[in-house]
A and B are shown apart, each in its own frame.
Chain A
Amino acid sequence: ETGVTQSPTHLIKTRGQQVTLRCSSQSGHNTVSWYQQALGQGPQFIFQYYREEENGRGNFPPRFSGLQFPNYSSELNVNALELDDSALYLCASSTTGSRSYGYTFGSGTRLTVV
């Protein structure tokens, strides 16, 4: 059973640019969530995808968008990058209706905006 894999592991972008982060779900999981973790803070929920549609969103602006593909993998896109977008971006997969123990996180993508 493979876990959640994210790519790339590290990324440096310039303010104003766009970025795409990728996530492959754990085998058997059909739901993907994305979290942003700033330094010294806990992860903050961005959004969740199920059946290729967004079915929950945290307090993040529309320039944060995502996709889920038929194989349950997912992308997180961020447009017009700002310095405050620098963070660890975590992907978590689960099955629908998982209790909170059912989430498997990847190791994240460290994004630095300069």
Chain B
Amino acid sequence: LAKTTQPISMDSYEGQEVNITCSHNNIATNDYITWYQQFPSQGPRFIIQGYKTKVTNEVASLFIPADRKSSTLSLPRVSLSDTAVYYCLVGESGYSTLTFGKGTMLLVSP
């Protein structure tokens, strides 16, 4: 599985757009990029998944450049409730296990 690198922490204010970038230089052709969100004392929750270009859902957008060696999770107009740890995962579609790194701790302040 491709190794991922993401910032340990980020700070933001309510109403701002937050972009979290994940580096995955060794991504394989069959690998997808998936982001999970985890609140304290809860299990991770799927946010978004993509293979290339741009994916958008009701929660976030995921930008993937042509070389796919990095990806950026974009959270529009964050609120205090978006304070959480965000994990970037890379792996084949249908793979049976999830490999988590340490994630990025996002702190949103008033």
Contact = CB atoms under 8 A, between A and B. Distances in A.
Interface of A: 4, 31, 33, 35, 40-45, 48, 55-56, 58, 88, 90-92, 97-103, 105-108, 110
B59 to A, nearest CB: 12
Given A92-B43, A108-B41, A42 B49 contact: no
Contact of B94 (A55, A90, A92, A97): A97
Contacts of B87: 42
Given A100-B46, A105-B42, 16 more contacts: A4-B43, A41-B102, A42-B87, A42-B103, A45-B97, A45-B99, A55-B96, A98-B94, A99-B32, A100-B34, A100-B95, A101-B46, A101-B49, A103-B46, A107-B42, A108-B41
Given A42-B100, A42-B103, A48-B96, A108 B43 contact: yes
